[in-house]
Structure 1
């Protein structure tokens, strides 16, 4: 069984009486595609974004048994007025729930919330669960604020209490120091570090030990920095016993590596050598299959790189499906 834990949807339309700041979907001449118009953005969306039957056809063609579908990241537009942000989230969540009802054994949905208003976002989690959605997608930063900021702690505590899963998608920060040409590449690495690091170091992960949270694209460069963080924490190389004489920032809590092993990470990192490193450092029980479909083309068949690695059957079963079920609370 293969579960694609990182795939996206777009509603095919928006209410005619929606606020002017809402997106719209325009017909494409001679095609079943639609063009998403959202502020300055123009994005031609394949019909698999919004047509359930097409999604299932694409699943069958790629060898996917189930998808975890979340809103296309540009919909996470936190600069909208909070009331408009809530209205947009509710519309997208309703659409996602309806799409998944078409084939609940093959489509599992994540909603979205207006995190520019943490209280409203926290309150909306109950509605997301009641709609049958498995959890919520959030961006790696909220208008430049790290998700590990204390002002979002109650949101994560409520997600933990309700047992809903959280998926963190890397998104550019308004304070990015990289050129626009890096928005789809290096920004993913930088934002992944900031998001996962802020959760581990800001106290949220410690305060929410049962929170089920996953990071897109293996949280970017996070795993490369963890050995250095572990050295500063415990004064030793290679995760050897703590050396108090060398430790720069000792504390009594879990090590950075132990904290990082509480999270899940999709393994869409484009290279088998990187996946090997992630397995060695974080564990095969932490990785998920992801594709970014249909915003990006899947490997054909799905998880082709993982399949080529001759992983032990236990590791393959974990990464291909069991970890996703654990992250979703369905183990």
Structure 2
């Protein structure tokens, strides 16, 4: 198995949904061109919505399996709970259909209306019944961070279902200077991930829910690379002294995808967090994806370790069966 846990999909039914639901503020132009979203114009390519095209895309990149998750611009935590729930359920149905069309190659993560935590828990239960193997949420809802007590129903449900939770940045808090050069993505995504996981650790949320497994994308933001600073702060800052444990103690409950865009950074990530806590993640089919994910991982880690990162590490976490690889 060579699996990808950071692989985005957008069911085609979302286009029709936007066309008839003005509350989302998305204009549909032509068949699959979307305008007005948080990241500007968005064109749906077949690799996002067509199961066969997605599998072919995986094979082109040396992979054979994906755990699909919706692209974050489609979270819409800013709309009312009824609309958010309807969209989440529509997306989950679409991802389930894509996985059913290619059961040897595709699995899926649920999305939930996180702006309404009780509903999010209910939608997650239903999605789990329908076969999702994980859930993807934003690093915040824009107005609330994930350690806010209001999200306890969601965390409790994820723990009860023993379902991995992938954090993906989507709602950026205002940062001066990020309005140019794609810095909201290039720097902001990493920062939002770091804030989210550090708050979950420092607030005790992960200690209250030790059965929750967290996956953070983009190699974990700045966490692996600034772990020493986070650890040092516990010894010199009064507000850090009550920190439950050293942040590195959570590696294992927290896992990292391998998306670094740099071989030296990837080598450091594996050494810092442990190869057992690294998962293949590509960001396909988005333009910020790793162009050659498998060959880059092999070049850095060697065939044996790369096989574990793309195989057993993922299979054990998500409960996947290993298909016969057609990409080798």
TM-score, normalised with respect to structure 1: 0.87
CA–CA distance in 1 between the matches of 2:27 and 2:96?
A: 20
Please give the secondary structure, in 2, of the residue aligned with 1:146: coil
Q: Bigger CA drift: 316-325 or 201-210?
A: 316-325
Report 1:101-112 matches (<5 A).
Answer: 101-112=100-111
Report 1:60-139 matches (<5 A).
Answer: 60-139=59-138
Residue segments in structure 2 that go unaligned for 5+ positions in a row: 322-328
- Structure 2 residue 255 is matched with structure 1 residue 264: yes
- Report the aligned-residue RMSD: 2.3
**Gap change, CA 1:226 and 1:51, over 3 Å in 2:** same
CA–CA distance in 1 between the matches of 2:81 and 2:137?
A: 15
Provide, for residues 172-199 of structure 1, a one-character-per-residue CA deviation record: whole Å limited to 9, x for no partner.
Answer: 4243334222111000121111111111
How many positions carry a matched residue from both structures?
A: 314
Q: Which residue of 1 aligns with 2:185?
A: 184
Report 1:215-226 matches (<5 A).
Answer: 215-226=216-227
Q: Which residue of 1 aligns with 2:21?
A: 19
Q: Bigger CA drift: 202-211 or 317-326?
A: 317-326
The higher-RCO structure (CA 8 Å, 6+ apart) is: 2
The answer on whether the counterparts of 1:7 and 1:293 sit within 8 Å (CA) in structure 2 is: yes
The answer on whether the counterparts of 1:113 and 1:124 sit within 8 Å (CA) in structure 2 is: yes
CA–CA distance in 1 between the matches of 2:17 and 2:222?
A: 40
Structure (1 or 2) with the greater helix fraction: 2
The answer on whether the counterparts of 1:264 and 1:327 sit within 8 Å (CA) in structure 2 is: no
**Gap change, CA 1:221 and 1:17, over 3 Å in 2:** closer
Residue segments in structure 1 that go unaligned for 5+ positions in a row: 29-33, 236-245
Please give the secondary structure, in 2, of the residue aligned with 1:101: helix
Q: Bigger CA drift: 104-113 or 321-330?
A: 321-330
The answer on whether the counterparts of 2:65 and 2:105 sit within 8 Å (CA) in structure 1 is: yes
CA shift for structure 1 position 252: 8.5
CA–CA distance in 1 between the matches of 2:284 and 2:116?
A: 29
The one of 237, 245, 260 aligned to 1:254? 245
Report 1:195-274 matches (<5 A).
Answer: 195-233=196-234, 235=235, 249-250=240-241, 253-274=244-265
**Gap change, CA 1:283 and 1:134, over 3 Å in 2:** same
